[in-house]
Every structure is written in C-alpha cells, then in structure tokens.
Structure 1
C-alpha cells in the first residue's frame, strides 16, 4: 500500500489477509503482515481454518504441508494449481456422460513437500481441469473434495470472487488511498477503523426495510453523521425526513421534538 515518495526512498508495505464468511458477507478473521511475508502463512494461523469448512483461496496461498494436515483433520479447500507445480498422476477418473463439456479432466494426483523434519512426503489431492470458453483459457483446480461432481468444484472456486468484491467495496467507500501516519501502528489502526465501520454499516444495512446500495448508504451517512436521528428510522424514511426537515426550516431542535428518534 502507498505511493513512491518524492525522495525515492520506498517504505515498507502491508498486506491485509481476511477470511470472509460468505453468508454474513463480512470478514471473520483478519491478519496483517509485512508485504514480503508469504501469503500461505495466513492459512496456517491458529483458528483460521476449522473442521468441515470449505476454504476458497487464490493459488498464492498454496502450501502442500498444511494441505496434507487438512486431509487428516477434515478441513476442505478449493484453490488453483500453481504453474510450476510438478504433479504425480495417481489415478485418472472417468468422466460420465452427464459431465459438462467444459470439464476436461478429473484426476487424483500427488504433490511432494517436506515436513518439519525435512523429510520428503506426498499429499494426495484432486485435480479438475476446467475450460472457460469466453476467456479461451483452461483453469486447473486443486482440492481435497473427492465426493463432489467435478463441475461443482469449478463453481465453488468461482465464489472466491466475493473476497475480491469485498476489497473493492472497501477501497471505493473508505479512505485507504492515503494513510494519516507512516508507521506500522498508525496504518493498522486506520485499517482496523475501516473494518469496524464496514461491520457497523453492514449491520445497519441488514436491518433496513428499504433497499439501499452500500455506496449510496455510505455517501448519505457521511453527510448526516451529526444528524440527531436513529439511523434505521432515518434511512427507512429518508424522503419523509427531508420534507419535514424543510418544513422546520432546517432546525434540528424542532425536528427532534416532533420525532423522538433518539
């Protein structure tokens, strides 16, 4: 994060790793790391992964040693195979007639890794090849889910795009283009404040009976942070609120006496 300073001296960067609960639509685990730290360290943090969960993540997080451990612990995942991966074919699964044409291959493979003692081991995983017609590109999905149809593996990974939409929402609606401080603590405080605001506004949005886009809600909320009214009532009746406010000639005291929404 940040820009190149005029004096040519580059400052350290920060990565924000977030585990998104797809049902809630908000991050449930957040970890900030140095920009040079490998992404895969996040998925190895205690409490990040839980049994019977299905994690969807980019191939930058690939680490075969944790994958081997997850196989034994009942933790599932879908990711993409790295371009330089050297897989060992163990079994080629036959595609039945009901399989869509864009599923090119379904196989059981092994990938080598070293354990904590430096001993070479193999993790057994599933490889699904999917052809994207619009992009004219083949994607190789890596997973330990062997019971699901091959096409469902591809659909599961597609849901990973929701984390990209979350980061897009944060960048578009909150001031993270620039930081008010340049030390680690100041930057992390600003990111945490942004995530707290995201959580609170998401809760408010879910309680509203009137449909609001997130960006419109943020935009109007910024203009009425000091308006003395209950947020849910205000946003559910914003047109009525505006008319009554004009009738009272913009006097918030008269308006508050008439509508006790505190």
Structure 2
C-alpha cells in the first residue's frame, strides 16, 4: 500500500496480527520455500476475508479476487482454487495457533488495565463439528459418523466481552475429561464446566493443587452430607451444604460444597464447588455464566465459516478453525480499543460495509454509543 494511501478498514482490522512471527515460523518450517505468490501471509489474509464473508468454497474465494482492492492487499490479481487447496493442506496449524495465542495476550493486556479486576472466570466446554465419514475417515467416531471436536477455554470478562483463551482440536471420539488437564492451568482463576467433566479423582487433585472450580453433578451422584449452611431469606438457592461425594468404590477424599438451585424450567441443578468463601447465590451466578460459552459456539457457527470446510485433511480443518478463532479475537480487540458496547455482529457488519474504505470511516461509527 502506498504510504500516502489511507489505511483501509480491512488493514486496520488485521493490524494486531504479528505477521513477522508467522514469517519467522514459516522460514523455519520452509513453508514458502517454493512459493511465488501465495505466501503464508497472503493465505492468512485470504482466509480471514473468507471468514468475514462466510465464503463456502475455495472457488468462491478465488473469484473474490476480481475485486481490485483485494488484489492490492494481497499483491496479486488471481489464484486458482487448486493452489489454495494445496496451501490449505500445507500450512502448519502451529503457525496459526501461535498467531491466535498472540492475539489472546493482547486481549489480556486490556483486561489487566481494568481497575479492580477480579479473579477471572474461565469456562470450559467443547463443541462437536459433524463431518462426512466418506471424506473424513480420519475423524470417524461412530459406524456412520465422523466429526471433529473443539475443546475450548473461554474467559468471561463481563456480559459484553468474552474471548477464547485456549483451544484444543481433536477427533470427536476424544472424551472431554481428557482435555481438562490441558485446559486448567491457572491458579488465579475460577473454572466452570458442565457435568461431562465430572471426575472425582481430578476434583481431588485440582483441590489439592489449589485450583478453584464449579461444576454440575450428575443426577445419580451419591452424596453424604456433613453440614448444612443457613441461607438468607432473599436467597434464590434451595440448599447449601458441605458434603462428601461418591460411593465407596468411587469417591472423592476432599470435602466439597453442594449448592442446589432451580433452572428456568424448574429443574433442580446440583452444583459442586471447592469454594467456601463465596455466598451460595454467588456460586449460582458463577455457574450460570457457563452459558457464555454456549453463546460463543453459537456465534462461531452462525457468523464465521466452520460448517463448510475448505479441505478434507486434519491440517486443513485445524487451520480453518484457528482462522475462525483469530477472526473472533480481532473483533474483540476492536471492541476493546474503541471501548465500544456494540455487539461483535454489528462490528463485523460495519467492517464488511467499509472493508476497502479508509479505516477512520469505519471507526467513526463507534463514536455514537447510544445504540447497542
């Protein structure tokens, strides 16, 4: 781009990405050794453009290069779908994973600047992405089905801002509990996860090692009450107890806290935690924050392209998922930089409308904060 040309909205949006880091990894891995024009950097920019527009195929991505501004951004005027396919299967997912984690660090820097920042709330869950067994035999997990699973740790800053902090991509047959050891790594955080992660031995280990958590017990879980705590009259909690959990054959050695609450449908939820310093209502509110990760997965599936994959290899699939996570993080960084209360969907729509226009025209839309 000419130095006298105003920065485009697209260039502003991707500016937090440290392409220098990607270039260093690319050099070490010799990813662009025989590449003439579709470098790893150009590939990343094309994939980000495709995620933003929810482009469903490599051919559609190739056709998008009819746009003069897109050509100027990439430095070439055409690329075939077959070339894109080869690059998609060649780029090491570790490169995109590194860029994703770097963006996470930038988001954390904003978080740390917040006055009176409390212990971060980190929600853990997974989402299965269904795949065609004929094309994705490496991801088989049932007789007639294939799938990949995105295991995720999401940081809940407040109701306006959440962001993915760590991701693990596996075939769908991988059990959620196996990833808990990888995703729980911060003793200065409070972890929240659903009953699919219940493991008494791991609960003991987390407690002994100083990790805090809140989870939901299965309906058939055996409990033995040690003590019942009194509740304030205005509390929405049904009961608050100190308990041992598990049967004689399978039990936890530590004592835990059991908080019973009703969900919106009137069903009783049994919440288990190793936090005794919070009120029962605070424990209930913390667990309700788990829905943030459900909304995150819903956002990904509706507003970026992870329903149609551009390649059938494990490498291609991982690259596309990391690009989707990078897209989300770039939206969050703009939201934090502009101190906007706008939804990420609104931010994305404005960006697409002003993609090749000067960035200041896009950013000007954030100045009026009266409309959500």
Return the TM-score normalized by structure 2.
Answer: 0.55
Structure having the higher helix fraction is: 2
Give 1:124's aligned residue: 255
Larger radius of gyration: 1
Check 1:91–1:100 CA distance in 2 against 1; reply closer, same or farther (3 A cut): farther
Cα gap change, 1:3 to 1:37, in 2 (>3 Å):
closer
1:80 aligns with 2:216: yes
Aligned to 1:111: 245
**How do 1:59-74 residues align onto structure 2 when only pairs under 5 Å count?**
59-74=195-210
User: Which contiguous aligned blocks of 4+ residues in structure 1 show a shift greater than 4 angstroms?
Assistant: 3-7, 118-121
Task: Provide the rounded CA distance (Å) in 2 between the counterparts of 1:214 and 1:120.
Answer: 44
Structure 1: how far apart are the matches of 2:230 and 2:294?
32
SS of the residue corresponding to residue 122 of structure 1 reads coil
Matched, 1:41 2:178: yes
Query: 1:255: which partner in 2?
Result: none
- The answer for the alignment partner of 1:18 in structure 2 is 152
Shift of 1:157: 0.5
* Bigger mean CA deviation after superposition, 118-127 or 22-31: 118-127
Matches within 5 A, 1:208-223: 208=338, 212-223=342-353
Deviations 1:69-105 (A, max 9, x none): 1211221111111123222x14131314x24453222
Unaligned runs of 5+ in 2: 1-128, 136-142, 367-372
Secondary structure, counterpart of 2:164 in structure 1: strand
Shift in alpha-carbon separation, 1:61–1:120, aligned structure 2, 3 A: closer
Task: Give the Cα separation in 1 of the matches to 2:327 and 2:229.
Answer: 50
Do the aligned partners of 1:112 and 1:122 also contact (CA within 8 Å) in 2? Answer: no
* 1:91 aligned residue: 226
Deviation at 1:52, TM superposition (A): 3.3
- Picking from 135, 144, 155, the partner of 2:274 is 144
Highest RCO, 1 vs 2 (Cα 8 Å, sep ≥ 6)? 2
Q: Deviations over 1:108-159 (max 9, x none)?
A: 2223489xxx997634211111134x42221110111112111211111011
Work out whether 1:156 is the aligned partner of 2:286. Answer: yes
Q: How does 1:153-232 map to 2 (within 5 A)?
A: 153-208=283-338, 212-225=342-355, 227-230=356-359
d(CA) in 1 for partners of 2:336, 2:304: 19
Distance in 2 (CA, whole Å) between partners of 1:212 and 1:39 is 33
- Report the TM-score, using the length of structure 1 for normalisation: 0.76
Structure ranking higher in strand proportion: 1
How far apart are residue 6 of structure 1 and its match?
Answer: 8.7
Residue 117 of structure 2 is matched in structure 1 by none
Asked if structure 1 preserves the Cα contact closer than 8 Å seen for 2:335 and 2:342, the reply is yes
Q: Deviations over 1:37-87 (max 9, x none)?
A: 111122111x63321321011111122112101211221111111123222
Stretches of structure 1 lacking an aligned partner (at least 5 in a row): 240-262
Over aligned residue pairs, what C-alpha RMSD do you find?
2.8
* Secondary structure of the corresponding residue to residue 169 of structure 1: helix
Could you tell me how far 1:212 is from its partner in structure 2? Answer: 3.4
CA contact (8 A) 2:225 2:243 kept: yes
